[in-house]
Structure 1
Amino acid sequence: MWRNHPFAFGIIAITVAAILFGVAGALAKVLFHADISPLDLTAVRSIVACAVFSLAMLLTQPGVFRIKKSALPLLIATGLAFTAVNITFYYAISMISVAAAITLEYTAPFFVLLISVVSASRRVDARDVGIVALSVAGCFLLTGGEAELFSLNAGVLVGLACGLAFAVFNMLGNACKRRGVGATTVTLYAFLISSALWLAALPTLTVHEIDYSGDVILYIAFIAIIATIIPYWLLMYGLRHVDALPATIIGMFDPLVAGLVAYALVGERLTVVNMVGIGVIIVAVCLITIKEKNAPSSSQKNNAKKAPDESSGTLQEPTQNAY
């Protein structure tokens, strides 16, 4: 069943991942109100996610730890990009609003478009440019068109850096698929590399000063497990079947959900303009989905050559894991 509809399930996986990312962003704002710094939250989140996911894989799929030496540089790059996305994102939402920070994160389609043109990794046409412009405009409306987005303050610059890092992360996800590295292996090594960096940095952080009350522990556990492990695996799975450009556009469900959750938990407003933005984002997602479905991407074409064996969880290659 999964093998017959890889593109559709890729779209669904990326959509669910975006929803969980949106929830994580809003909950992070709640923790910042509890005086937990972005660096501390990112470190704890990464270490907890790595510990839980690694233990689960050791018990259920120990084979995902085995990789080809040739894939190691790509996995290291993916782990570094993963770390950069998290650091810049949490720093941004500590300096500007959740909605504004997520708007800047989702300049990622623009950066994917730019990198694709420069590297000639994707054939870009006028429809791609139009859909990217539409999606970014929708995200801007969703956040209410905040004036701070036009000022080159530190928060805006960090948010743009997050957009670039997220674009690179998505493109590396596509590259991992082309190299035959499975979603579970990519996710695992991203967590391992990120947590190793954070463990080395622990002496410079203040995680020991966090007030680990019941609510704080629950929020951290939710962010680390439900809003980190699951969505990143889903994103990596989706990127096996969907190119980075449409993936980052579909991912704009993230700010949509973040805005709704932030409205409920943090008291941020949701206006008529925001609702128009939601509509524009949905239109952009529908357009890019239809375009990709009617004109299979390079990612989908490669899929026909290296279809994953769903029953065994491995590619049709001897040493790599599909999931």
Structure 2
Amino acid sequence: MRAMGMVAIFVAAILFGAAGAAAKVLFVGNVSPLDLTAIRSFVACAVLGPIMALIPGRSFHIPPPARPMALAAGIIFVVVNATFYLAIDMMNVAAAITLEYTSPFFVLVLGALFGGKRIRGRDCGIVALSLVGCFLLTGGGGEWVRLSAGLAVGLACGLAFAIFNIIGNACKARGIGATALTFWNFAISSAVWAAALPFLGVHRLEPTAEMIAYIGFIAVVATILPYWLLLFGLRHVDALPATVIGLLDPLAAGLMAYFLLGETLTPANMAGIALVSLSVILVTLSERQKSSAPAKSPRSPAEGAPLLEANNG
């Protein structure tokens, strides 16, 4: 199941990257990031709801004790998507998506603040490496102010995505299925954006066949499917390695942006991607070493007896 979870997150990362590049095409066509976020939620909810209604059993059910967690996941889901598309609108696709995947560092920080985990000097060095990578990703020059805003929004997306992954990791223990959580994420997101419609420009859009095709692709193929795959994967893979696999996002997005938009990456951008990727890999290797360390054996038969008894029970 762990291998299946990793494959699911791998495919989700590729589809998320494709969604980022397709979104950039719509932004060039005067569709705003917030409008796209709202439309994507409405379409995904409208498509997934009837499909789930045909599934036997209680496909929509969330256990009552777990409903606050599901609500929190839905709200964070809104923040992740809004900041994701805003960052893409402010900078090139691969750079924006790579900033989203600074989330492993936020996982470490949140673990230290709320989980009582100690941050070592090596962890601080890796975080510093990632910050240098983010600086290179956002470049400089005459667009510094605009890129600084993009950097802030991209890092906000990384923080929100870290929280989303942590919640997704915890959902299995609360009895929340991946399919039910996927639907309720979209449903909560749709409710939020429905309330915000008077402040959006959705009603002013003049849809074309190309726009409808891109929105359909983003909402169905690159939204419903990858989020379900991600949440399924998070039931079997920890949040930290999940975000590492997600580093395939910038690769997929960069390739699609090249073919669809003619967008290229400068040497500084590529160096930034390399540094951020390296820092995330180092974090993962560090976590893997800790998890593979042999457990201490009982110091006496008296300490070992309860373990044996528990296993037999």
Q: Which structure: greater helix fraction?
A: 2
1:202 offset after TM fit, Å? Answer: 2.0
- Which residue of the other structure, out of 230, 255, 259, is the alignment partner of 2:250? 255
In structure 1, what residue type is equivalent to 2:218? Answer: I
1:151 offset after TM fit, Å? Answer: 7.7
1:173 offset after TM fit, Å? Answer: 0.7
- Which residue of the other structure, out of 170, 183, 186, is the alignment partner of 1:191? 186
| Change in 2 beyond 3 A, CA 1:251/1:13 | same
In structure 1, what residue type is equivalent to 2:81? Answer: N
In structure 2, what residue type is equivalent to 1:192? Answer: A
| Change in 2 beyond 3 A, CA 1:102/1:286 | closer
1:192 offset after TM fit, Å? Answer: 1.0
- Aligned pairs (5 A) from 1:1-323: 2=1, 6=2, 8-120=3-115, 143=137, 145=139, 153-271=148-266, 296=291
Aligned counterparts of 2:135 and 2:12: Cα–Cα separation in 1: 21
Aligned counterparts of 1:121 and 1:89: Cα–Cα separation in 2: 29
Q: Comparing 17-26 with 282-291, which one deviates more in the overlay?
A: 282-291
- SS state of the match for residue 185, structure 1? helix
* Structure index of larger Rg: 2
| Change in 2 beyond 3 A, CA 1:211/1:270 | same
1:256 offset after TM fit, Å? Answer: 1.8
In structure 2, what residue type is equivalent to 1:46? Answer: S
Aligned counterparts of 2:219 and 2:117: Cα–Cα separation in 1: 33
Which runs of 5 or more residues in structure 1 are unaligned?
A: 298-323
Aligned counterparts of 1:257 and 1:157: Cα–Cα separation in 2: 23
| Change in 2 beyond 3 A, CA 1:57/1:98 | same
Number of residue pairs matched by the alignment: 291
| Change in 2 beyond 3 A, CA 1:276/1:101 | closer
1:157 offset after TM fit, Å? Answer: 2.0
8 Å Cα contact 2:98-2:273 kept in structure 1: no
| Change in 2 beyond 3 A, CA 1:128/1:185 | farther
8 Å Cα contact 2:134-2:151 kept in structure 1: no
Q: Comparing 58-67 with 218-227, which one deviates more in the overlay?
A: 58-67
In structure 2, what residue type is equivalent to 1:268? Answer: E
Structure 2 counterpart of 1:300 = none
8 Å Cα contact 1:112-1:167 kept in structure 2: yes
1:225 offset after TM fit, Å? Answer: 0.6
Normalised by the size of structure 2, how large is the TM-score?
Answer: 0.81
Aligned counterparts of 1:15 and 1:134: Cα–Cα separation in 2: 25
CA deviation string 1:196-221 (max 9, x = no partner): 11122223322122222111111000
| Change in 2 beyond 3 A, CA 1:78/1:69 | same
Which runs of 5 or more residues in structure 2 are unaligned?
A: 293-313
1:191 offset after TM fit, Å? Answer: 0.9
Aligned counterparts of 2:263 and 2:206: Cα–Cα separation in 1: 25
Cα-Cα RMSD = 2.9
8 Å Cα contact 1:149-1:156 kept in structure 2: no
Aligned counterparts of 2:15 and 2:131: Cα–Cα separation in 1: 20
In structure 1, what residue type is equivalent to 2:198? Answer: P
Structure 1 counterpart of 2:308 = none
